[in-house]
A and B are shown apart, each in its own frame.
Chain A
Amino acid sequence: MAEPAADPHAAFRADARAWLSEHFPPALRGKDNALSAIEGPTDESEDERRWRGAIGDKGWGVPTWPAAYGGGGLSRAEARVLGEEMARAGAWNPIGGMGVMMFGPTLLEYGSEAQKREHIPAIARGEVRWCQGYSEPGAGSDLASLQCFAEDRGDHYLVNGQKTWTSGGQWADKCFALVRTDRTRKHEGISFLLIDMDAAGVEVKPIRLISGQSPFCETFFTDVTVPKANLVGREGEGWTIGKRLLQHERSSLSGGGSTGRLLGGKPVSAIAKHYRGTDADGRLGDGDLRARVIRHEMDVRAFALTLRRAALEAKTNQGPSAATSIMKNVGARITQDRAELAIEAMGMQGLGWEGEGFSAEELTQTRSWLWGKAVSIYGGSTEIQNNVVAKRILGMLDHQ
C-alpha cells in the first residue's frame, strides 16, 4: 500500500503516536465505558487514574482549548489527527462530561479572565464535575419561564428555587445555572450563575427513571449564598449565554459522542439475524421485521452521509449547514427505532428486567430501549427542534 502523497500533519502525527505509545496503558485498549455518563462514575483503576493524569497534563482531553487554560492548543486539523491516532491505538478520552461538552466552551467565550483561570484548567484535567441547572418542573420546553430566584444582597446573591433533570447532580462539584434576577422581564430577567454543589442549602435528590437508572436529580436551593464573582456575563445576559451553551449541547448530542456510538454500534440487522434466523438465501427469516430493519439501516446510512455533508459544508466555509437543524431529531429517531427493532427481534428475551435467564447484552438492550425514550425529550424535545426548523429555516410564523 502506498503512503499518502503528502500528509501535512506528518510531524504532528508522529509526535502524537509516540506520546500515546508512551502514556496510554495498553490494558485500557477499548475499555471506554460508553454508559458512564448515564450510570455515574465507576471506580477508577490505577491505570485509568494514570491515563487521566497524563492526558490532563498534556491538555489533549480538550485538544482545541487554549493552552493558556490547560487545553491542548491544537488546531482543528491537528485535533482530528489526534483523534485518528487515538482510535488507532485503541485509546479513549477520559476527560468528558458537561464541563467539557457545554460549560467549558461557553465560559471560554463569555467568562471573565479570572473565571477562565479558575475553572477551565480543572475541567481540562477532569478534576471538577459540572452539572446543568436549567429545567424546572414548570419550565421545560418553555425554559425562559424559569422561576429559581437569585436575590441581590449587595456582595452576594441569595438563591432560592428548584431545578430538575440535573444530570449527574449527585456527583457534581459545581453547577452552572440559569436563575431569575428580575421578575419583571421574561428573557432579560435571566442570569447565568455558578453555584457550588456543596454550599449550604443545596439539596440533591436523584430521580429514578423508567429504565431503573438515576442519572438525573432534582436540585433544591434554599437560601444559598453565591458570591457575585460567580455571575458569568452581566445580569440579564443569562438567556443569551444559556442558549449558546445549548448549541454546544445539541451539537454534542447529535454530531458527537452518542451518534458516533450509534453509528459504530452493532447494527440491528446483525441482532435480528442472530435472534430470528435466516432463510436459505441468508435473508432475515421474519419478512415483516426484515422490511423494517432494512428501512432503518438505510436511515442510518443516510444519517451518516448527512453528518459528513454537513461537516464538509461547514469546513468549506459556507457557514453552518441547514442540515445541522435536523441532526438531533434524526439521531433520536434512529436511536429509538433501533432499540424498538432490537427488542422486537429478541422477543421476550429482549424484555427482561433482571435474572440469570437473560444475557448481559439482553438486559442492557432492555434498559437502553427504555432510557432511549428520553433522547427525543432532553436537550430540546423533538417538538421544539421542529419548531426551530419551521421558524428559522422555513420562515414560518409563530404560533398565534
Chain B
Amino acid sequence: MAVLNDEQVMLRDMAREWVDNEAPVAAFRRLRDTGEAVDRAAWDAAGQMGWAGIVVPEEHGGSAFGYLSLGLVAEQLGRNLVASPLAATAPAATAIAVGIDEPARAEWLPRIAVGEAVAALAIDEGAHHDPAAIATEVVDGRLTGTKCFVAEGDAAALFVVAARDGLYLVADGEGVTRTPRAMADARSHADVRFEKAPATRLGGLELTAATVDRAAAIASAEMLGMAEAAFARTNDYLKTRVQFGQPLASFQALQHRMARMFTELELMRSAVEAALEAIDAGRSDTDQAVSLAKALGSDTLKLVSREMIQLHGGIGMTDEHDAGLYLKRAAVLEAMWGNAAWHRDRFGRLNGY
C-alpha cells in the first residue's frame, strides 16, 4: 500500500463504505437486467462526494487531489463493478485542465466537478488500441472521423477526441452521432461518428499520449479493485464449500493456487500505485510505469477472474452468480487502452529491448 496522507485514507474509507452500502454488485446486476448501461445514481454520488472533481483544479471547483487519490476511488468502484463513468470522465477532465483552451476549462470543468457532465475519451478507431492509427482530421475547426467502442459514449455530454495532429474537445450536438455497442460487460460503449463537428483544440500528440496513459492507469486501478474482490470472494467460498467431508480450503493444491494469486495481486498493487504516483509527480518515465501496471494488471485480473469461475465450479458458470460479471468486465478492461501484449511491447521499446 502506498503511503497515504490523512485525506487519502479518509477518501478511500468513504469510497469503500459507500460502495459496500450503496452499490453492491446486485445494484449493477439490476442495472444490467433493466438494460441500462450507466449508473446515474453512482455518478450523482461521485459529484456529491467530490470524486468527480478529484483531478479538477481548485479554481474550477475541484479538489486537485490527483491520480493516486482518484485510483483509490476507482479501485473501490471496481470491487463491486459499479457502472460509474468516473474512469472515463477523469482523464478527459485532466486533458481539458492541462489543455491550451482557457474558455473550455471555465465552461466544462466546474460542470464535471459537480458530477453534472459526463465526458468520454474518443481515441481508437478500431477493435484494438492503436493510437498510431488515427485518421480523424480537423479542418477549419471542424472535426471528422469515427471512433469505436467509446467507453461511456452513451451518456457523454462532451468528448475528448484524438485527431491526427492532437487532442480536441467536441461537445455533444452538431455533427455527433452515436451508435451504442452491446458488449459482454453490459457497460456503456458506443461508436461515435463526428461529421464536421465544431472542435476546440486542447493540445498536440503529447497530450493525446499522456491522456491515454492516465486512462490506462485508472483502468488498472479499477482492475485492481476487481481482482481484489474476485480473489476475496473465491477465498471465502473455498472456506465454506464442503466436499469429501472437508472445506475445499483444506486441500493444499487449492491453497497453493490461492497463494500464487495473492502473490500476483501484491505485485499488481505495487505497479498500479507506482503508475498513479508517476502521473501525479509528472515523471518522465510515466509511460513505462503505466505499461507495467496495465500489463501486470491485465494478466493478474485474467488469472483471478478465470480462477474465480473454476474454483467456484458449476455455480460459477451460472448467470445468477457474480463470477461471470467479473469475467466479462475483466475481458473488456483487458482489451481497453492496450492489452497486456501491447503494453509489454511498449515497455520493451521504451527500454530499448
Interface residues of A (CB under 8 A from B): 135, 138, 140-142, 145, 164-165, 207-210, 212, 275-276, 286-289, 343-344, 346-355, 357, 366, 370, 373-374, 376-378, 381-383, 386, 399
Closest beta carbon of chain B to A230's beta carbon, Å: 27
Closest Cβ neighbor of A355 among chain B residues: B182
Question: CB distance A373 to B251 under 8 Å?
Answer: no
Question: CB distance B317 to A374 under 8 Å?
Answer: yes
Q: Residue B243 contacts which of A145, A276, A370 (CB distance < 8 angstroms)?
A: A145
Closest beta carbon of chain B to A226's beta carbon, Å: 25
CA–CA, A165 and B331, complex, Å: 26
Q: Residue A370 contacts which of B180, B181, B328, B339 (CB distance < 8 angstroms)?
A: B328
Stretch at the interface among B9-17, B224-232, B319-327: B319-327
Closest Cβ neighbor of A141 among chain B residues: B243
Question: CB distance B185 to A377 under 8 Å?
Answer: no
CA–CA, A351 and B319, complex, Å: 17
Besides A142-B244, A209-B318, A377-B317, 11 new A-B residue pairs in contact (Cβ under 8 A), listed by A number: A140-B314, A207-B320, A210-B323, A286-B341, A289-B341, A347-B127, A348-B181, A350-B335, A351-B335, A354-B182, A370-B184
Top 6 closest pairs, chain A to chain B, by CB: A210-B324, A347-B127, A288-B341, A142-B243, A347-B128, A349-B127
List, sorted by A's number, 14 A–B pairs whose CB atoms are closer than 8 Å: A275-B127, A286-B341, A348-B127, A350-B335, A353-B184, A355-B180, A355-B181, A357-B191, A366-B184, A370-B327, A373-B309, A373-B327, A376-B310, A377-B309
CA–CA, A344 and B186, complex, Å: 18
The residues of A that contact B335 with a CB separation of less than 8 Å are: 344, 347-348, 350-351
Encode contact with A along B328-345: 1 for CB under 8 Å, 0 otherwise.
100110111001110011
The residues of B that contact A386 with a CB separation of less than 8 Å are: 253
Closest beta carbon of chain A to B334's beta carbon, Å: 8
The residues of B that contact A351 with a CB separation of less than 8 Å are: 183-185, 328, 331-332, 335
A348-B335, A357-B179 in contact; A383/B253 too (CB < 8 A)? yes
A209-B319, A348-B149 in contact; A382/B310 too (CB < 8 A)? yes
Question: CB distance B318 to A208 under 8 Å?
Answer: yes
| Residues 214 to 272 of chain B near chain A (Cβ within 8 Å) | 242-245, 251, 253-254
Closest beta carbon of chain B to A336's beta carbon, Å: 8
Closest beta carbon of chain A to B323's beta carbon, Å: 7
CA–CA, A383 and B323, complex, Å: 19
Closest Cβ neighbor of B253 among chain A residues: A383
Encode contact with A along B295-308: 1 for CB under 8 Å, 0 otherwise.
00000000000100
Is B103 on the interface with A (CB-CB < 8 A)?
Answer: no
Closest beta carbon of chain A to B297's beta carbon, Å: 15
CA–CA, A287 and B179, complex, Å: 33
CA–CA, A138 and B148, complex, Å: 45
Question: CB distance B332 to A135 under 8 Å?
Answer: no
A209-B318, A373-B310, A399-B251 in contact; A348/B183 too (CB < 8 A)? yes
The residues of A that contact B310 with a CB separation of less than 8 Å are: 373, 376-377, 381-382
Interface of B is mostly: mixed
Closest beta carbon of chain A to B316's beta carbon, Å: 8
The residues of B that contact A142 with a CB separation of less than 8 Å are: 243-245
Is B352 on the interface with A (CB-CB < 8 A)?
Answer: no
Is B141 on the interface with A (CB-CB < 8 A)?
Answer: no
CA–CA, A376 and B189, complex, Å: 31
Is B282 on the interface with A (CB-CB < 8 A)?
Answer: no
The residues of A that contact B148 with a CB separation of less than 8 Å are: 348
Question: CB distance B324 to A370 under 8 Å?
Answer: yes
Encode contact with A along B182-225: 1 for CB under 8 Å, 0 otherwise.
11111001010000000000000000000000000000000000
The residues of B that contact A343 with a CB separation of less than 8 Å are: 331
CA–CA, A142 and B316, complex, Å: 17
Closest beta carbon of chain A to B263's beta carbon, Å: 20
The residues of B that contact A208 with a CB separation of less than 8 Å are: 318-320
Question: CB distance A164 to B244 under 8 Å?
Answer: no
CA–CA, A136 and B164, complex, Å: 59
Q: Residue B328 contacts which of A138, A207, A210, A378 (CB distance < 8 angstroms)?
A: A210
A351-B184, A353-B184, A355-B181 in contact; A210/B319 too (CB < 8 A)? yes
Closest beta carbon of chain B to A166's beta carbon, Å: 12
Q: Residue B313 contacts which of A140, A289, A352, A399 (CB distance < 8 angstroms)?
A: A140
CA–CA, A135 and B243, complex, Å: 12
CA–CA, A346 and B332, complex, Å: 12
The residues of B that contact A376 with a CB separation of less than 8 Å are: 310
Closest beta carbon of chain B to A80's beta carbon, Å: 35
Closest Cβ neighbor of B257 among chain A residues: A383
CA–CA, A351 and B182, complex, Å: 9
The residues of B that contact A346 with a CB separation of less than 8 Å are: 127
CA–CA, A137 and B339, complex, Å: 37
Is B173 on the interface with A (CB-CB < 8 A)?
Answer: no
The residues of A that contact B182 with a CB separation of less than 8 Å are: 352-355
Closest Cβ neighbor of B246 among chain A residues: A399
Q: Residue A210 contacts which of B149, B179, B181, B318 (CB distance < 8 angstroms)?
A: B318
Choose among B127, B245, B344 the residue with the greatest number of A CB atoms under 10 Å from its CB.
Answer: B127
Closest Cβ neighbor of A369 among chain B residues: B331
CA–CA, A164 and B339, complex, Å: 37
CA–CA, A343 and B332, complex, Å: 10
The residues of B that contact A349 with a CB separation of less than 8 Å are: 127
Question: CB distance B183 to A209 under 8 Å?
Answer: no
Question: CB distance A164 to B314 under 8 Å?
Answer: yes
CA–CA, A354 and B313, complex, Å: 27
Closest beta carbon of chain B to A382's beta carbon, Å: 7
The residues of A that contact B316 with a CB separation of less than 8 Å are: 373, 377
